[in-house]
Structure 1
Amino acid sequence: MSNPRDIFTQSDDFRTEQNDWLRLRTLILLRWTAIFGQLAALAVATQYFALQLPLGLCFLAIGLAIIANLLAVFIFPANKRLSEGEAMLTLVFDLAQLGFLLFLTGGLTNPFALLILAPVIVSATALRLRSTIVLGILAAGIVTLIAVKNLPLRYRDGSDFAIPELFAFGFWIALLIGIGFLSVYSRRISSEMRSMSDALLATQMALAREQKLTDLGGVIAAAAHELGTPLATIKLVSTELIDELSDQPDLAEDVLLIRDQADRCRDILRSMGKAGKDDLHMRQGLLSAVLREAAEPHLDRGKTVHFSVTAAAQSGLREPEILRRPELIHGLRNLVQNAVDFARDRVWIDAHYSDSRLRILIVDDGPGYPSQVIGRIGDPFVRSRRDPRDLSRPGYEGMGLGLFIAKTLLERTGAELSFANGSDPFLQPEERPERSGAIVEVVWPNAVIIAESRAGLGLNQVIEP
């Protein structure tokens, strides 16, 4: 079975290797947009509002941005991806250029001062926390500087454009709060999106691995099925030859060796066949058999696992056969693993079926889910289930990714999952019921999980090389 911790490590390594996700082309396009906007703002301010601006210095600031863009276009390839340091320096340049332009055009009396937030938000979305903190401090410093010191806006008649001091102070405070709030907000959203992306990647890896194991089991089962007849023929003929060659010990010994090797081939195929059962006739199985198959890797870990399969009262149904899909096997296996991990002594796996639905309960006698995380069960990277002072399982990474994979895969099969505790966690040990730990309920409509009749399955399909 694939371990969720191993899958998490692989996805985490993948994410670490891909820190240079921010393309230079993206920042270049954003800067061109800013340049055209700055030029348009200068034109409107001087021609329509009749403001006097130091156009020479303003064009110098805009020209520096144009030169930086042209150098980036001609020096670096179109598919250049920026490292952490390169992206940070690019955003620092944009902050400095915008701050200098705002200094020349009235400071915080210029409504476009709001754009000082843009580089910080880009950093919060795409860069690490350290870079975002540096850019946030720099942006706050620039805002404070241009609020105190700037070249005021003047009309053509020489009068200054002024705003009330209370408004200027409020705008300064709003920009500082905006830098902090929007940075935290953007970073939280992007972090959750990256976490979900990594978790989905790990889920796909888990499903792909389970599918490979299932396919391998199908090859083995098909080989065992197809080779069974020729091996039986070899054994039968060799047995007859041994009787006929009783007066030729040398030849009889060779034929005996052939029969023994045929038996050995049969035993090898039989043992290998236990690794998987996915030929056409084994793509479905009895509910109890599938549950045992899913739990099998955790049955010898020192905890007692109880199985029960019951039917609804007066339903008259016999035990159903369900589809042995890789998602179902891997999802149930992760749930059983989590239960065995935290159980004290026992785990119960109860299946109940009726005319309309199949319900599976997985319960343990452990401490249950902490109240502070039970509402987030099934989200990726929930790290804690029990008291962190409990060192009975040192080195355990947490339960978030494994349960997320299980929940995602089982929901792909049409299941609905719910998580609860078997008792109040504040009860004394002697007051707790036998099934006092975590409870996972998995429910399917019969239409999506119950297999059709085996009649007419046909021949095994040819496996193309």
Structure 2
Amino acid sequence: MGCGTERSASISVHATTNRQNLLLLVQLRWLAVSGQVLTILIVQWGLGIALPLTEMAMVIALLVLLNLASLLRHHRRGAEVSNAELFAALLFDVGALTTQLYLSGGATNPFISLYLLQIGLAAVLIERWSTWVLVALASLCFIGLIGLHRPLALPVQLDDGVPRLYIQGVFICFLIAAALLVVFIQRISHNLRVRDENLADLRQRAVEEDHIVRMGLLASGAAHELGTPLSTLSVILGDWLRMPVFKAQPQLIQEIGEMQGQIDRCKTIVSGILMSSGETRGENPRRTSVRRFVDDLMAQWQSHQAPARLDYVNAFAPDAVIVSDPALKQVICNIFDNALEASPARVVVRVERREDDLAIIVQDEGPGFSSEILASLGKPYRSTKGRPGGGLGLFLVSNVMRKLGGTLSAQNREAGGACVTVTLPLASLSPVKAPRESRHDG
């Protein structure tokens, strides 16, 4: 994956997290609207304190309209939510709180401490500079409310020189702020942890795909280098077959023929590597069906590897038209090779359809996978074969499946041996949208 793709994916992760946080702000605002309505009702009719209901109702209506607009934006999945938008939403909340406090006693209102709730949310949700700007504005609003506000006629009942109603209001404000801070900061922290996990996964994928690109370049270079000596050997063997000294020895002629066949196979493999790396894009893709594709692949693999026993069942129905993909052939054959290496006596292959997916199940009677291998399935250089470069097979299979939208899973069978399952969406192989190798942006 190129740096441009990684950067765009990282931006997408941040945008998704911001959309989730915007939804949390919407939920908090609904609670604020409900709390303000309840408080106004209690103060106006429960305590008999006159409030400017019209102005306060207008502020609540504006909060409702902002929430509806935010919900509409949240449901537009393609729309990104930036730091500026979250900052603006918090500024609006601070402005609404300031207006309500201005209409209900200013700095003498015990709910003035709710400024700290807005600042706490800002410290978690938005960038550092935005948070400090919000702190400065909230402080200015607090200072302004000391001198500019509409006073309320409160019943005076003093406790140690402080109005009892004020103490009760401070306590209620404390309970509200504490509960909301705990609930929403925990949920916001969860969103941030999910974002960090997604970013870590993207970085890991970028490293793995860079590793694949390097191996692809090496394989392509090796294929080019091998082409010339293989062609030379093929010409030499062809000359030998025409020489009288070799024609007189039928056994030698047979061995030369076998050597020619193996060289032809090597040339086919080299051509497949070049095709998968994009060297032969001028050729038209070959349309086929799922059943024919897997049947031909199994016949080719069986003729090359000659397993002692192969139990093959193609239960894919109904059939579907696809485009033959050389890279997919290679990774599936890699699974077959691993199964044969683990279990030379018997390999079981079953092909079936699972709704709109192609499933290939490969079973063997070998020793199975260790718990470490199963836990790190698809990671490079995780192998029990004990040779340099081992463990790349399932790593390559896993990455090709991921590019095509499929999955790779493995487990040990109760009867012994291992079972590897490849599941691939048919849409990724359809003629309408044929699979392609990932493009690496610079």
TM-score where L is the length of structure 1: 0.41
TM-score (norm 2): 0.43
Between structures 1 and 2, the one with greater helix share: 2
